Chain A
């Protein structure tokens, strides 16, 4: 387990999956954009960046442990 694998799902796969599920439920991405106020956008952006940082830290901690 020492060689930490690249734990990434290809971006295209995720995009395609989201797209197909949206289509199935009759949701148009363009309409989604209209439902957001600027304030909501700002808050969601902060939330996502915060979570991204946390995931990075988590990955770093795991990687450090593997190296030791």
Chain B
């Protein structure tokens, strides 16, 4: 989940800036902070020490990889000095839990049918990894001095991913003769 930070330039109150804290940004900040923290590589190595980024550990971590489906959906809608504005946004929470349910179901079908737990984990990991899209969806909408407007936002990435996972699940159950 992205976190928005807001900073205000006090010399000019109308000017506002938004930052989003993302992994990439934090990683790259090591190079940008210049004088303030001269040791950019130190910042970088802190992330290297984190087990998610530890190359040596990659193989042993892979088995659980499907739990790390990275998703970022941040939405920011500003309505200012306006009237009669209608806003519809997608409920991403419902979609994300549906996606998790589908992943679990795929792992479950494989675990029951393959039996051997090491083998089934290897297969489900490999299958789900194909759909392990790193998603980042950020929307910022600013409505100012407007009357009678209607805004609808959708999170299409999530819908695509859910459809793909369902197709994978259906293909599996057809192979094992359940459907």
Contact = CB atoms under 8 A, between A and B. Distances in A.
Interface on chain A toward B: helix, strand, loop, or mixed SS?
helix
Interface in B71-116: 88, 90-91, 94-95, 98, 101-102, 105, 108-109, 112-115
Given A27-B123, A44-B178, A36 B159 contact: no
Interface of B: 88, 90-91, 94-95, 98, 101-102, 105, 108-109, 112-115, 119, 122-123, 126-127, 130, 150, 152, 154, 156, 159-160, 162-164, 166-173, 175-179
A6 to B, nearest CB: 9
A54 B101 CA distance: 10
A22 B168 CA distance: 13
Contacts of B176: 29, 32-33, 36
Given A32-B114, A40-B112, A52-B170, 19 more contacts: A1-B154, A1-B156, A8-B167, A11-B167, A14-B167, A18-B171, A21-B123, A26-B119, A33-B113, A35-B115, A36-B177, A41-B177, A44-B109, A48-B105, A48-B109, A55-B166, A58-B95, A65-B88, A65-B90
A52 B169 CA distance: 10
Given A27-B123, A48-B178, A58-B94, A65 B152 contact: yes
Contacts of B171: 11, 14-15, 18
